[in-house]
Amino acid sequence: MKWYQLDVEKVEQKLHVTSTRGLSDKQVNERRKQYGQNELESGKHTPRWLIFLAQFQDFMVIVLLAATLIAGLLGEYIDAIAIMVIVLVNGFIGYFQEQKAEKSLDKLKELSAPLANVLRDGKWEKVSSRDVVVGDIVRVNGGDRIPADIRILKSNSMETEESALTGESLPVMKHQAAIQKEHLEAQDQVNMGFMGTLVTRGSGIGIVVGTGMNTVMGQIASLMANTKKIMTPLERRLAELGKILIVVALLLTALVVVLGVLQGNPTYEMFLAGVSLAVAAIPEGLPAIVTVALSLGVQRMIKKKAIVRKLSAVETLGTASVICSDKTGTMTENQMTVKEMYLNGRNLYVTGDGYDIRGDFFLEKNKVDRDYQNLETMLLYGMICNNASLLVKKGKHMIDGDPTDGALLVAARKLGLKEMDGERFNIIKEIPFDSDRKRMSVVIEDENGLRYLITKGAPDVLLPRTSYLLGNEGRSMLRTEDRNNIVNKINDMANKALRTIAIGMRPLKKNESLDEAFLEKDLTFIGLFGLIDPPRKEVKSAIAECREAGIKTVMITGDHVNTARAIARNLNLLPENGLVLEGSKISQMSQDELIDVIDDTYVFARVTPEHKLKIVKAFQEKGHIVAMTGDGVNDAPAIKASDIGISMGISGTDVTKEASSLVLMDDNFATIKSAIKEGRNIYENIRKFIRYLLASNVGEILVMLFAMLLALPLPLVPVQILWVNLVTDGLPAMALGLDKPEDNVMKRPPRNPREGVFGRGLGYKIISRGILIGLVTLIAFMVTYQNNPDNLVYGQTVAFTTLVMAQLIHVFDCRTENSVFDRNPFENMYLVLAVISSLLLLLVVIYWPPLQPIFHTTALAFRDWLFIGALSAIPTVLFGFKK
């Protein structure tokens, strides 16, 4: 017998579990031991030694090693060995950094791993999908990926999309009844749900019958391709830059060697000079530091509750110029409370806060109770046409499920209605809520076998389907006058920022068809609920901060236009002459018409997910970089189309998370702002150390080139240059990657996405500082060498020290686009420490006798330091004042 052929009870028996309690912790542990984790086996991990070797496959490192080898063959053993050691140490550092970056990416993966809703020991809890075991009772909702193969126990109009398995993209309706046929293919087993397939509609409960590789998906995907690391645009651009630098280095080397030999110098010496130049031109440490800066930035974002799913988002975030954000749950708390009701043509006020079940109903100043006409009916219907449940946690009432539904449960409880009051009715059919329909219905049967339809949803959606009105005198035709009254009431409530829900019903005939297409019509209007959903308190200032940063915030919501407008005004999001567009309008507009008004529009109300796509495209047409949030099943296309797709960690569905590049762990709009700020900062920090490293390289090349043109001996030997590039530059560069943002990061417009790495004057800064660093190093060398022509090592030591010192002073200039004196140098303690350690290492190389022959150094006197100090401060001080 196959699982689909068994009755639900049989399945439970066989797996030793009941659908009301689920597995016990003990059972779960045993089964996990027996069957292992619920995972598809992925490709093997790269072995460590390969990662280590990969550090040396870089083309520039190979060139360097080859040159070293030749130098060694030519008899320069000490130099060759020193260079080898430095390259090896650099390889180790790169290896450890890569390991660390990988670990932080693994952590990211863990944080964004899908969760499953399972029933264990009688309680619903969320666990990582990996921890699901055979026999677990799981619940899935629209937008979820099914975590394992399940036999359906209960289907609320559940539909799934199984194209990953079957190639068929039409949704399949799921049932719970056993099927007798033999040898059914997966697509015909309609009482089964399969791992990795998507719930597109409705919801369901199932019992896990297969996990991990023992699933249909597991059989197909017995080996999943190893996911390759994708470079971010910046990493790619830097890799290209690296290639250009190599070409430049090789050309320079060739030029010098040929020129030198033509001038009559020995070939061997010229070759050494060429190698030195090549070393000088290439920023060996740069790629590793970029990777580290990105991965550290990602970790900082996690601390701020933003999970980056695609590394490239770190860069793109800094370019965002529009944030399109959901209102409900992202800008607001998503904690709904019924504040007002409208029934029998009168207003009732409901007291109480949040999901606390204490509260009463008031008609003007008088408390009313069950005897108030239709009140109980309306609350009861709201409770039955509902998917949430009320629970008590730590003595406080909480809800599980949709907050809108939850609020109606709490309101019913305030009148004393309990779950069992609803159990008199049998729910025969449910048409689920979704953001397109904006309503939900159930068909119920009472103890006398009478059937009703109950519909609850957006009032302006329900009204056109309404023909009758329930009032004090029972049911009557809905006259135009009544209709107008209701519309006025809806507007009233919405103007007070209340979310409105209408309740309607229709008695059904005995054997009336339950076809969805014909059910929700000729309704009897019962009443309106007005729900408050307070704005999150951080959002107002976050929107203001974004505005200052040149980023426009746009609210998108399925709510009523007046509700949306009222909340937008509250949050200071909607300016005096800002437009509010309704979904129905957007449908009528052509894309061009939408583009015309999009820049003046701040609020989109009563939209459906398709509108979101149209909105993203319109903003992009206008040249904006769009960040777009979403949580529902149908939001995925808009999220994908946007430049930065953002999904919700708590309320989001699996599909939206998969489509997004950023997940908000707390669903909070303010977190988007923090992520953007962090994104801008990371990019600026990367620019800072690129500026620092390249200025150093420019300086090194120039000092060598000038010396050659002046027919002087080489001021620096290769091992010194390599030392500067890797050791003296590496530590401070890394510290620059950890720098705090400048005060104005969020006070300037977003970066132009087409701007190159060297944009905004960075190229000029690199070259101008580089020239000066080269010049002062050359002067230091020339003066010393001229006075001591027979002590070349002394001159080289002074040049080497001047270069290092000039860099270590210049590093503070790199922290700002403005004057170096604007920023407190002790603000970044990492940098201070890095500079001090670089200095100490320099002293070791100069003064420790065993290292002197290796680095071609000699001890310096105090007055040398005065001379060097004065010279090396020149580049920074000269440019430090005027900006």
What is the contact surface with ligand ADP in residues (CB under 6 A)? 326-328, 402, 404-405, 433, 435, 438-440, 456-458, 499-501, 557-560
770 binds, among ligand ADP, Mg ion, none (CB under 5 to 8 A by kind): none
440 binds, among ligand ADP, Mg ion, none (CB under 5 to 8 A by kind): ligand ADP
Q: Does residue 149 have an active-site annotation? A: no
The residue among 120 and 657 lying less far from ligand ADP, judged by its C-beta, is: 657
**DSSP code, position 266:** -
- The residue at minimum Cβ distance from ligand ADP is 558
Rama region for 870: left / alpha / beta (φ>0; ψ in -120 to 50; rest):
alpha
First to last CA, the chain: 81
| Min separation Cβ 420 and ligand ADP, Å | 22
Cα–Cα distance, 307 to 107 (Å, whole number):
10
The residue among 455 and 807 lying less far from ligand ADP, judged by its C-beta, is: 455
The residue among 609 and 730 lying less far from Mg ion, judged by its C-beta, is: 609
**Adjacent-strand bridge partners of 523:** 466
- Residues in contact with Mg ion, total (CB under 5 A)? 1
Length of the chain in residues, anyone? 883
Which position among 79, 136, 326, 405 bears the catalytic label? 326
| Min separation Cβ 435 and ligand ADP, Å | 3
Cα–Cα distance, 502 to 544 (Å, whole number):
35
Radius of gyration of the chain from its Cα atoms, rounded to whole angstroms = 35
Q: Please name the residue ranges forming H helices in 759-861.
A: 762-787, 792-813, 829-847, 852-855
456 binds, among Mg ion, ligand ADP, none (CB under 5 to 8 A by kind): ligand ADP
| Min separation Cβ 499 and ligand ADP, Å | 5
Cα–Cα distance, 418 to 497 (Å, whole number):
29
557 binds, among Mg ion, ligand ADP, none (CB under 5 to 8 A by kind): ligand ADP
The residue among 386 and 784 lying less far from Mg ion, judged by its C-beta, is: 386
The residue among 328 and 838 lying less far from Mg ion, judged by its C-beta, is: 328
| Min separation Cβ 632 and Mg ion, Å | 7
Contacts of 460 (CB under 8 A, 6+ apart): 487, 490, 560, 606
| Min separation Cβ 350 and ligand ADP, Å | 17
The residue among 631 and 700 lying less far from Mg ion, judged by its C-beta, is: 631
Closest to 355 in 3D by CA, of 400, 399, 305? 399
Collapsed DSSP state (helix, strand, coil) of residue 778: helix
Segment contacting Mg ion by CB under 5 A, of 68-76, 189-197, 252-260, 326-334: 326-334
402 binds, among Mg ion, ligand ADP, none (CB under 5 to 8 A by kind): ligand ADP
Dihedral sign for Cα 595, 599, 601, 606, please: positive
Tokens encoding 4: 């689909």
The residue among 211 and 328 lying less far from Mg ion, judged by its C-beta, is: 328
In the 3-class helix/strand/coil scheme, how is 863-879 assigned residue by residue?
HHHHHHHHHHHHHHHHH
Closest to 554 in 3D by CA, of 672, 702, 697? 672
Burial 232-250 (b: 16+ CB within 10 A, else e): bebbeebeebbeebbeebe
The residue among 290 and 627 lying less far from ligand ADP, judged by its C-beta, is: 627
| Min separation Cβ 329 and ligand ADP, Å | 7
Q: Please, are residues 695 and 766 in contact by the beta-carbon 8 Å criterion? A: yes
Cα–Cα distance, 232 to 239 (Å, whole number):
10
| Min separation Cβ 536 and Mg ion, Å | 15
499 binds, among Mg ion, ligand ADP, none (CB under 5 to 8 A by kind): ligand ADP
Q: Please, are residues 131 and 32 in contact by the beta-carbon 8 Å criterion? A: yes
The residue among 438 and 810 lying less far from ligand ADP, judged by its C-beta, is: 438
Cα–Cα distance, 727 to 838 (Å, whole number):
7
| Min separation Cβ 559 and Mg ion, Å | 8
411 binds, among ligand ADP, Mg ion, none (CB under 5 to 8 A by kind): none
Crossing angle of helices 669-709/267-281, nearest 10°? 160
Secondary structure E strands in 238-356: 306-308, 322-326, 337-343, 346-350
The residue among 612 and 856 lying less far from ligand ADP, judged by its C-beta, is: 612
Rama region for 174: left / alpha / beta (φ>0; ψ in -120 to 50; rest):
beta
**Adjacent-strand bridge partners of 366:** 363
| Min separation Cβ 452 and ligand ADP, Å | 17
- The residue at minimum Cβ distance from Mg ion is 328
The residue among 471 and 609 lying less far from Mg ion, judged by its C-beta, is: 609
500 binds, among Mg ion, ligand ADP, none (CB under 5 to 8 A by kind): ligand ADP
Closest to 19 in 3D by CA, of 165, 116, 89, 119? 119
Collapsed DSSP state (helix, strand, coil) of residue 337: strand
Give ∠ CA 791-797-803 in degrees, rounded to 5: 140
In the 3-class helix/strand/coil scheme, how is 116-157 assigned residue by residue?
EEEEECCEEEEEEHHHCCCCCEEEEECCCECCCEEEEEEEEE
Q: Please, are residues 795 and 784 in contact by the beta-carbon 8 Å criterion? A: yes
Q: Please name the residue ranges forming H helices in 429-558.
A: 459-462, 480-495, 516-519, 539-548
Strand 361-363 relative to strand 346-350: parallel, antiparallel, unpaired? antiparallel
| Min separation Cβ 558 and ligand ADP, Å | 2
12 binds, among Mg ion, ligand ADP, none (CB under 5 to 8 A by kind): none
Tokens encoding 763: 């190229």
| Min separation Cβ 340 and ligand ADP, Å | 14
Collapsed DSSP state (helix, strand, coil) of residue 756: coil
The residue among 500 and 671 lying less far from ligand ADP, judged by its C-beta, is: 500
Give the alpha-carbon dihedral of 518, 520, 522, 524, to 10 degrees.
Answer: 160
The kind and range of the H/E element at 368 are: strand 366-368
281 binds, among ligand ADP, Mg ion, none (CB under 5 to 8 A by kind): none
The most distant pair of C-alpha atoms in the chain lies apart, rounded to whole Å, by: 116
| Min separation Cβ 616 and ligand ADP, Å | 16
| Min separation Cβ 354 and ligand ADP, Å | 18
Residues annotated catalytic, as ranges: 326
User: Which residues contact Mg ion by CB under 5 A?
Assistant: 328
